[in-house]
Amino acid sequence: MVDFGRVLTAMITPFKEDGSVNYSVAEELAAYLVEQGTDTLVVCGTTGESPTLSWDEEYQLFQVVLQAVAGKALVIAGTGSNSTEEAIAATQKAAKIGLHGSLQVVPYYNKPPQAGLYQHFKAIALACPDLPFLLYNIPTRTGQNLQPETVARLAEIENIVGIKESTGNLDQASEINRLTPKEFKLYSGDDSLTLPLLAVGGSGVVSVASHLVGKQLQQMIQAFETGNSQVATQIHLKLFPLFKALFATTNPIPLKTALKLKGWDVGSTRLPLCEDEDWMSQKLKAIFTDLP
């Protein structure tokens, strides 16, 4: 079974001033993130602004990032959709590129029942049997919660290997871990809940903050895994203000502001997301002065 590691970075998509994708910066950023502790890059997810990317842009990003980190990290493609047929086609094309896995978000807007969610993910997995899948449950964005019982049924499918759990509900995370096989991976979708999730059987995090503190996240998780919970807690508390600031408004607006403060030419978010940099910049600058 593929091992996606502890720290998976939900990578932003850089844009140029004219709004087109900046593939050269994406290449540089991907290589940098791996140097800073990222085990796997998740491309064209929520943080990558996938709703405003065309499929052609996404496929080019997949190839650019894959080439940039070849042999150094794994790459997961965000190829989910609220259309099962579209998700299958996108995932099959991503598999042919040579990506290492697929992130499949709960279908949004059409709000299928649990039976529909099961059939949706099952159909995609069976259509791409050689590609490992992470489910992605984020009901605040999709309008539907993937219940633990449904996750458990899906975990019986060989190439559905884990879940990015973004409900913010530790009870649900505990129930998922209780109902699924021990090899099924439970990843936090919220940086601030990474350490608590580890305590109920989590494997790591699909992180936003790892753009900025990837090495510290690795240290925190490794400290917990080796029984040094006090050190892990100290790192968590040190990073906690950053975790919260990065979600002070819609992700990835704060993250792009933070990266620009660090000198990265990542551009703005695409509409309908827009930036309000003044207050966010001041908040982030204050946090950066306290970080190690």
Contacts of 2 (CB under 8 A, 6+ apart): 74, 100, 101, 132, 161
The answer for 18, left when phi > 0, alpha when psi is -120 to 50, beta otherwise, is alpha
Check if the beta carbon of residue 14 is closer than 8 Å to that of residue 22: yes
Would you state the structure tokens that stand for residue 19, as one six-digit string? Answer: 């709004």
Q: Which residues are catalytic?
A: 136, 164
Q: Residue 51 CB: number of other CB atoms within 10 A?
A: 12
Neighbouring CB atoms inside 10 A of 233's CB total 14
Question: What is the C-alpha to C-alpha distance for residues 95 and 130, in angstroms, rounded to an integer?
Answer: 8
Q: Are 210 and 252 in contact (CB under 8 A)?
A: no
